Amino acid sequence: MSDGQNLVGKHAVVTGGGRGIGAVIADSLNEAGAQVTIMGRNMDVLRDKAQQLNDGLAIQCDVTDEDSVTTAFAAATKQHGPVDILVNNAGAARSLPFIKTDRAHLQQMLDVNLIGPYLCIQAVLQEMIDKKSGRIINIASTAALKGYSYVTAYGAAKHGVLGLTRSLALEMATRGVTVNAVCPGFTDTDIARDAISNIVAKTGRTEDEAIRELVVHNPQKRLIQPDEVAATVLWLCGDKSVSITGQAIAVAGGEVM
């Protein structure tokens, strides 16, 4: 799925690249010729995925932990050189009514979904500025563009990612670095599967009914497939996307417009 892009000679890091959307992004960047480093907490999952890539590198990293991020990016750079493409994909979504959203839950959602991308960008930006070239792509969500019930903490974190994206894009506008957010609607991965199980457990609905409830927001009435998100990321990495910066690109069947 290289879509005609040529990323030979580029080093791409995909956080959360061991499974879900991140694993498919890693595949597509690799197919386009990039050397891909995948990061996450579960080394077994990462190693399995890296073996499927051409010259793939798996590095353990908890994006919520500054020391872990510093060590992981130093190791990635040592192996494959400075990072040309950073895809901040690692994230987690947990739903709770606001009344039960304590500070610990809010902090957890902010740490993984907002502070994680911030730390990873800090780890690569100076080298991108020095090279006058770079692509930063934050996998946000339609929850960065609109509200949904029962995910105030996740929604706040993802809205924060968009603020970070837009402001940094302006700061980098004359420095050869583009910064964008890709905003998927409900996508067919563990996150959506967990949401479906949650609906089934809490409401007694069947799995089909739960899926229908999730896709009710999507005018096309379907779950987004991870390769649709990956194709958007790949497009943003190309030379011809240099004017696309500070954008929040929804991959969501028309859910937001």
Task: Please pick, from the candidates 15, 30, 165, 232, the single residue that binds ligand NDP as defined by CB under 6 A.
Answer: 15
Residue 16 and residue 190: Cα distance in Å, rounded? 12
Q: How many angstroms from the chain centroid is the CA of residue 203?
A: 30
Residues contacting 151, CB < 8 A, separation 6+ = 93, 94, 95, 96, 143
Q: Is 189 in the site for ligand NDP (CB under 6 A)?
A: yes
Cβ 9 to ligand NDP shortest distance, Å:
26
Q: Choose one: 14-22, 125-133, 202-210, 233-241; the region binding ligand NDP (CB under 6 A).
A: 14-22
CA distance 186 to 123: 29
Q: Is 217 in the site for ligand NDP (CB under 6 A)?
A: no
Binding to ligand NDP by CB under 6 A, coded x per residue (else -) over 96-125, reads ----------------x-------------
Please identify, using beta-carbon distances, which residue of 17 and 134 lies nearer to ligand NDP. Answer: 17
CB 223 within 8 A of CB 188: yes
Count the site residues for ligand NDP by CB under 6 A. 30
Q: Contact at 8 Å (CB) between 177 and 83?
A: no
Cβ 250 to ligand NDP shortest distance, Å: 10
Residues acting as catalytic residues: 154
Please identify, using beta-carbon distances, which residue of 106 and 129 lies nearer to ligand NDP. Answer: 106
How far, CA to CA in Å, does 57 sit from each of 20, 75, 128, 223? 17, 10, 20, 30
Select 6 or 42, whichever has its Cβ closest to ligand NDP: 42
Which run of H or of E encompasses 130? Answer: helix 116-131
**Contact range with ligand NDP by CB under 6 A, out of 74-82, 90-98, 118-126, 128-136:** 90-98
Shortest reach from residue 139's CB to ligand NDP, in Å: 4
Q: Which of 130, 190, 207, 209 binds ligand NDP (CB under 6 A)?
A: 190
Structure tokens at 157: 């974190």
187 sits near ligand NDP (criterion: CB under 6 A) = yes
Rounded to the nearest 10°, the torsion over CA 31, 32, 37, 40 is: -70
For residue 216, the SS3 value is: coil
Q: Which of 48, 82, 92, 175 binds ligand NDP (CB under 6 A)?
A: 92
Closest separation between CB of residue 21 and ligand NDP, Å?
4
Structure tokens at 118: 């911030």
| Whole-angstrom distance, CA of residue 230 vs CA of residue 158 | 19
Sites of contact with ligand NDP (CB under 6 A): 15-16, 18-22, 40-42, 45, 61-64, 89-93, 112, 139, 141, 184, 186-187, 189-192
